[in-house]
Structures are given as C-alpha cells and as structure tokens.
Amino acid sequence: MKAVVYTRYGPPDVLRLTDVEVPAPKDNEVLVKVHAVSLNGSDWEMLRGKPLYSRIAGPFRPRQHILGSDIAGQVEAAGRNTTLFQPGDEVFADILSHMGGFAEYVCVPESALARMPAGMTYEEAAALPQAGAIALQGIRDKGHVQPGQKVLINGAGGGSGMYALQLAKLRGAEVTGVDNAEKLEFMRSLGADHVIDYTREDFTRNGRTYDLVLDLAAHRSAFAYERSLTPGGRYLYVGGSVATLLHVLLIGPLTGRAAGKKIRLLAVRLGAQHLAPIVELCQASKIATVIDRRYRLNEVPEALRYLGEGHAKGKVVVIVE
C-alpha cells in the first residue's frame, strides 16, 4: 500500500510517499481502508519534534513512522477477538496514541473506533475526532461555560479553535478569538464577538479579563494568564511550549488561588466514542465543520506545510483514493 513515511524529525521535506506492507490486524484490532484523514497541530509537532513533548515516544527519532491520527474509512478486515465491526462498516477514529493515518490502510484497536455519524461525509467525520474532543472538553466539560460569560480562545482560527469558538457561542458566551491576522475574518465568520491578532497584541497585557481562557497555543507564564482571569475564572492549557506547560503544572495550582482562579492543564480524553454531543450538534447544523483545503495522499507534505506555516483556517483534510 502507499503511505507517507518519515524516519527523522524535520520539515515536511523529510516525508516520503512510499510502498509499505498492508498492516495485519492484531486480535483486538480492525483493519480500516482510509478514505479521509484530517491534519492536527499534533501532526505538525510530531513531524518537527517540537515542542519537546511531541518526542515522548521517540526522543531522538520518531517511533511511529506514519503520522495522521484522525481517520474515517471502511472496515476491511476484523481481528479474531473483535465483535463490534464487520467488513464494509463505515467508521471513524482518533488514533493519536499510535498514528498511521497517512496511508491507504491502518490498524485500529476496536475500542478506539466508532461508527460514522449518519449524514456525514468521510472528510467531515475525519475532521472531528481530536479537534472536537478538545472543543467539547475545553468549553463544556472542563470549561463549564455559561451564558453571558466572557471566553477567550487563543488559537481560535485553527482546527480545535474552529469547533471551540462555535460551541462557546452556542452556550451563550461572549467570545474573543485570538490568532494571526490572516484568520481574523474567519473567526468573525464563526461568530467571534471580538478578535485579536496575536502578532500585534498580547491579550495578557491589554487589561481585559475572562471567565475562561482556552489556550491552544500557550507561550506565556502562569502569572500572565492569572492577570487575564476574572475572580473565579479558569485557564486551560491545551498545547504550546513546554516551558509554559511546566509553569502551568508547577505554579498554576498556586497562582490566583485566593481569588478562586484555576490555572490547569486540559488532559483531553481522546476517542471518537466520546464525541456524541458534538457529533449531534454537527448533524443538526448547529456547528459547522469548515474544511479549508483538501489534499491527496501524495500531497501530505504540502498539506502539513500549509498548516504549519499558519495559513489553515479550520481543518485541512487529506483524501485517500
């Protein structure tokens, strides 16, 4: 089968489209013929090996040689101990823990698979898993957003931000989206009440405060985030620099405690099976999946470059023929 492979960290040029053996499903796995795979910030990070947390499985060289975690496709074969899926079933999954989606086939543990939501295309289903889980847990489950609250989403023009912004608006919040200048109009089109270009304004220094800051691109200190919170407000780190992650983990729990502020890491529970609430909102057309660009499997390097260089508004999807 064709797959996009890399064996060292680096720019998109280290990726090669090549022939590899079709993987054989283990007893608890299902072999899926991939129809669509969406790109996430995590693919870019694991390609580059930056930030350092993206090297957790392979400090010097990548341990997984095929990236791509959010897939949608059809079951081709099922392992001996699987019971839930038959060949031909349409499925989607988030396989961040072992990757392999930039390929014609991938093996997925049965427990990580879910049936394709009715009425969705492969590309829409592939767009949802990781970004949808971050949005749902960041805004609803851990963000506890209530009507009238002020919410700031840092990195709101990307994949997770696109869903998070719409979900926060649906819950009645006043939403500020932060991203680069190219994405300001896009964030407004998703319903953002206010937008900030992060290259021109530091939201932690403009004197405004929020009930929730959901941070998809964190690069500042816990003290800076504390300044941006209302009393009782919460800050959730999703992705960004390792220095900020350590600061949030070590200093966060103590910072702003007297004012009831919470500065924490959002450890996202991944898995397509947890996505039902956001799937329903998409099916009811209350939340839109915006696919900025579609690429073919042999164009994965260009697709990742487009995402990594900061152009992607919403999701980028690779269609596997």
Residue ranges binding ligand NAP (CB under 6 A): 40-42, 45, 130-131, 134, 154-155, 157-161, 178-180, 183, 198, 216-217, 219, 238-239, 266-268, 307, 310
- Look at residue 179 and give its three-state secondary structure: strand
Question: What is the SS3 assignment for 117?
Answer: coil
Spatial CA neighbour of 138 closest among 107, 172, 111, 161? 161
Closest CB 162 distance from ligand NAP, rounded Å: 8
The residue (of 42 and 149) whose beta carbon lies closer to ligand NAP is 42
Closer residue to ligand NAP in complex, CB, 31/136? 136
Residue 75 Cβ vs ligand NAP, minimum distance, rounded to whole Å: 25
Smallest distance, ligand NAP to C-beta of residue 164, A: 8
CA dist 56 and 45 (Å) reads 12
User: Shortest distance, CB of residue 319 to ligand NAP, whole angstroms?
Assistant: 18
Cβ-based nearer residue to ligand NAP, 82 or 204: 204
C-alpha span between 193 and 320 (Å, rounded): 37
Identity of the residue, 33 or 274, whose beta carbon is nearer to ligand NAP in the bound complex: 274
Compute the least distance from the CB of residue 134 to ligand NAP, in Å: 6
Whole-angstrom Cα distance, residue 108 to residue 273? Answer: 13
**Cα 223 to Cα 210: distance, rounded to the nearest angstrom:** 15
Please say which residue, 64 or 74, places its beta carbon nearer to ligand NAP.
64
Q: Which is nearer to ligand NAP, 34 or 266 (CB)?
A: 266
Q: How far is the CB of 19 from ligand NAP (least distance, A)?
A: 29
Q: Between 47 and 216, whose beta carbon lies closer to ligand NAP?
A: 216
Phi first, then psi, for residue 250 (nearest 5°) are -90, -40
Strand partners, 188: none
Query: Considering the complex, what minimum distance in angstroms separates the CB of residue 236 from ligand NAP?
Result: 9
Residues in a beta bridge with 178 = 154, 196
Cβ burial, residue 198 (10 Å; 0-12/13-18/19+): middle
Q: Which residues of the chain form beta strands (DSSP E)?
A: 2-5, 16-19, 29-38, 70-78, 90-94, 105-109, 113-115, 150-154, 174-179, 194-197, 210-215, 229-237, 262-265, 291-296, 315-319
